[in-house]
Amino acid sequence: MSRTVSLVLALGVGFFYLPIVVLAIFSFNASSLMAFPLSGFTLSWYADLFGNRAFLEGFLTSFLIAQPVGILGAFIGLMAALAVTAPGLRFRAVFVVLVILPFLVPKTVLSIAQAMLMNWVGLGRGATALIAAQTLVAVPFATTIIAAVLIRLDPRLEEAARDLGATPWQSFRRVLLPQLSGALGAAYSISVILSLADLTISMFLAGRTQPLSLVVASEFRRELKPDLNAMQVSVLVLTAVIVALTELNRRRLRRRASPMRDPE
């Protein structure tokens, strides 16, 4: 690796992680003012966190909403990916545009339009609406992840299964699904993470439900206190754990699958 390459990568990592590192530093800083110079080390902001009921309840709500979003996101993503990579899909371009539409339409506009529609047909806002809307936004990501794996699979395996008399369901269950479990895990994780990170959709569709991002946002408008930093760092660590577990799982599955695909 040349020196230019290392320098560019170092600058890139620096830019991407600078705000996160600063956030972490101030969560351990013994002063309620977030200003330099630093005043010493403390864990009291983390201790405060466990006494803050609004944060804890918000966290529980966010977690409970993220689970169905993760499962539904992966499930719909799987169906969309199977369809889009199938030979003989007519109007493929239209279908692709439809699937990536929630990614491209500004979330504010989409959420307001959804809120108007629900108001009009007389559906209430709340957890169900939030889960449905967040799932839609996760679908483009989940589909891309699963489709990226599907197009690399050997189509002859599925054809062989069908030639040997397997029904479409059997060939899916026995041939495709085992090769997709890593991608499904990744699709689930990214849907969960997008749901945890979302604020815009919650603002318009959460109704009386109060996920963590809304609690933090209302806190944010009033004042900046370091227990908020401790909160953010905790959420970040949790996110990093989800990402790391997903990646480890993917590698484990790939290792297990690889001797089957190319015997040495």
Among 71, 123, 235, 253, binds another protein (CB under 8 A): 235
Q: Calculate the CA 139 to chain-centre distance.
A: 10
Site for another protein in 45-104 (CB under 8 A): 76, 79-80, 82-86, 88-90, 95, 98-99, 101-104
Q: Which residue, 17 or 50, has its beta carbon nearer to another protein?
A: 17
Among 1, 53, 46, 35, residue whose Cα is nearest residue 210: 53
222 binds another protein (CB under 8 A): no
Q: Which stretch binds another protein (CB under 8 A): 39-47, 48-56, 220-228, 256-264?
A: 220-228
113 binds another protein (CB under 8 A): yes
CA 129 to the chain's CA centroid: 18
Nearer residue to another protein within complex by CB, 41 or 169: 169
For residues 132 to 171, the per-residue mask of contacts with another protein, x marking binding by CB under 8 A and - elsewhere, is xx--x--x----------------------------x---
Separation CA 181–CA 187 (nearest Å): 10
Enumerate residues 6+ apart whose C-beta is below 8 A from 256: none
At residue 199, the 3 state secondary structure works out as coil
Residue 122 engages another protein in binding (rule: CB under 8 A): no
Closest Cα partner for 65 from 15, 128, 107? 128
